[in-house]
Structure 1
Amino acid sequence: MNLSFWRALRRDRFFQLLLLTGVGLSLCVPFAPRAWPAAVDWHTIITLSGLMLLTKGVELSGYFDVLGRRMARRFATQRRLAMFMVLAAALLSTFLTNDVALFIVVPLTLTLRKLCAIPVNRLIIFEALAVNAGSLLTPVGNPQNILLWGRSGLSFVGFIGQMVPLAAVMMLTLLALCGFCFADRALTYHTGARSPVWQPRLVWSCLGLYLVFLTALELKQELWGLAAVAVAFLLLARRVVFSVDWTLLLVFIAMFIDVHLLTQLPVLQAVPDRVETLSAPGLWLSAIGLSQAIGNVPATILLLNYVPPTPLLAWAVNVGGFGLLPGSLANVIALRMANDRRIWWRFHLYSLPMLAWAAAVGYGLLRLVDAGL
């Protein structure tokens, strides 16, 4: 992992941008490196580590090749395949969370590239948008909903009922856009694609370890769960541990520290005092804008200290997952897994219009719901 790890860091422009941003912010706020480790959400880092190991295990087992070949033969056109992958990503995100859904669908999408000619980057972008749209429906779809649900006092079904209108509009919009952006032409298969050879033993081991890891997360013993998964792979298939893109964890750590430094800026220190006096449109735009700057999960944590967990706040921070890359951690995960520099700017060609649409239509729809129409 040594040389490849450092080479990956040297090529990682996004990580370098985060470092430069951190240095710049450090010049504008009190310099307190001892506080930086506390700014990192280590639960998220540990959870991501376990999921990365498990997903890489399934990928190296060859099972994605088998599944990808079956899917490529089942869907005759690019449009049908794209719509299936977008719907699958959205559905998985409703109960597995948006991050976990991406760890399943993005590696599968990359495998499909080896079997047939599809616009992979565009499909991964749509999958990132899909998990943001799908995950907003349920209390366990993403971290901000877990926080909001815990504070709201609503039942599981009650929370879903509150989010259904926004989720429906965003998914219908995404499917319509998907139909427009993917051609209804027959899939072209690569003639050199070999029949897949896979390792059932490794796949079943990954499934068992996934259950172990989920149990550890449920028992708040995530570190022990990660240790169990890592040791198991070192014994069963060591190459899994050394094939994971560990630089992704550094990207997330740098993001958490940058967000911490950003919230220390004097201009943001004054935000909480003004939030309580905001009108409904003001809170809507503030929550979305704050999500764009620091991410929708930190924005939710910050705003819940000053405003109740109303449907307006829940809708706004979920809308904030669209738009700029930092709006949702799922955006970063999807684009990093694509491993293509061109995808970073192309993502915004789709996500920024989606943000504008969601912000405008979402607020209008919220007003109609509040009016009982």
Structure 2
Amino acid sequence: TESVLAGLGKNVPLLGLVWGTMVLSHALQKHGGLLRGMEAACTWRALGAWDACARLSVVTSVLSAFIGWDVGALIMSPLALTIAARFPGQAAKPFLAAVATGANAGSLLTPISNPGNVIVTLASGMLFTVFVRRMAAPWAVAVVINAATVVVSYSNHFFLGRLPCLPKPPPVEPE
């Protein structure tokens, strides 16, 4: 128990950072119009559910880079359901997948976006700005690949019966 308490004492700044981002994100969500802005970014002139889903993945990645992947996913999950509901007959599953994977991809960019980055940054003495500069290109690639992968993975939800190469399945007759 003493070693656990000693380790916990060493990580008080990390725990404070995680708690602080949760409080900040709640305040932004409740008073700052954060979700309204995120929803607008995802749906304004969207070319369809697939476009809104890809945008949701990117927006979640950007948000998660600065408030943490876990908090970003918690904030964006209700928004995913709201956006999915805007498209009649659209399942929520692709949008929730976009949030889960987008938050994870977004956590590459900054030292504060996930606990592993905090530990690496503190142990190496690397400056915040140096970390961001080194991770910017891999982060951008991960965000784009992730958004595309979600759309392709759920293409049957977005495009089935709407494109000539993906015919509508025949109706199933009751037995």
Normalising by structure 2, we get a TM-score of 0.62
Equivalent-residue separation in structure 2 for 1:119 and 1:98 (angstroms) = 23
- 1:81: how far off? 0.2
User: How large is the RMSD of aligned CA atoms in angstroms?
Assistant: 3.9
The structure that has the greater radius of gyration is: 1
- 1:83: how far off? 0.9
In the TM superposition, what whole-angstrom CA distance separates every residue of 1:153-177 from its partner, at most 9, and x where no partner exists?
2222321233345424422321331
- The equivalent of 2:70 in structure 1 is 99
Is residue 156 from structure 1 mapped to residue 128 from structure 2 by the alignment?
A: yes
Normalising by structure 1, we get a TM-score of 0.32
Q: CA contact under 8 A between 2:42 and 2:59: conserved in structure 1?
A: no
Secondary structure at the aligned position of 1:90 is classed as helix
Structure 1 residues 162 and 63 mapped into 2: Cα distance closer, same or farther (>3 Å)? Answer: closer
- Give the 5 Å matches for 1:281-296: none
- Give the 5 Å matches for 1:51-90: 51=23, 54=26, 58=30, 68=39, 72=43, 74-90=45-61
In the TM superposition, what whole-angstrom CA distance separates every residue of 1:195-229 from its partner, at most 9, and x where no partner exists?
xxxxxxxxxxxxxxxxxxxxxxxxxxxxxxxxxxx
Unaligned runs of 5+ in 2: 160-175
Is residue 167 from structure 1 mapped to residue 121 from structure 2 by the alignment?
A: no
Letter of the structure 1 residue corresponding to residue 75 of structure 2: I
Q: CA contact under 8 A between 2:54 and 2:98: conserved in structure 1?
A: no
Secondary structure at the aligned position of 2:93 is classed as helix
Letter of the structure 2 residue corresponding to residue 122 of structure 1: P
Structure with more contact order per residue of length (Cα contacts < 8 Å, sep ≥ 6)? 1
Structure 1 residues 111 and 65 mapped into 2: Cα distance closer, same or farther (>3 Å)? Answer: farther
Aligned residues: 147
- The equivalent of 1:133 in structure 2 is 105
Equivalent-residue separation in structure 2 for 1:69 and 1:178 (angstroms) = 20
Equivalent-residue separation in structure 2 for 1:101 and 1:89 (angstroms) = 7
Letter of the structure 2 residue corresponding to residue 112 of structure 1: I
Q: Which runs of 4+ in 1 moved over 6 A?
A: 39-42
Letter of the structure 2 residue corresponding to residue 87 of structure 1: V
Secondary structure at the aligned position of 2:111 is classed as coil
Between the aligned residues of both structures, percent identity stands at 22
Unaligned runs of 5+ in 1: 1-33, 186-373
Q: CA contact under 8 A between 1:90 and 1:134: conserved in structure 2?
A: yes
- Give the 5 Å matches for 1:206-355: none
Is residue 121 from structure 1 mapped to residue 121 from structure 2 by the alignment?
A: no
Letter of the structure 2 residue corresponding to residue 151 of structure 1: A
Q: CA contact under 8 A between 2:105 and 2:143: conserved in structure 1?
A: yes
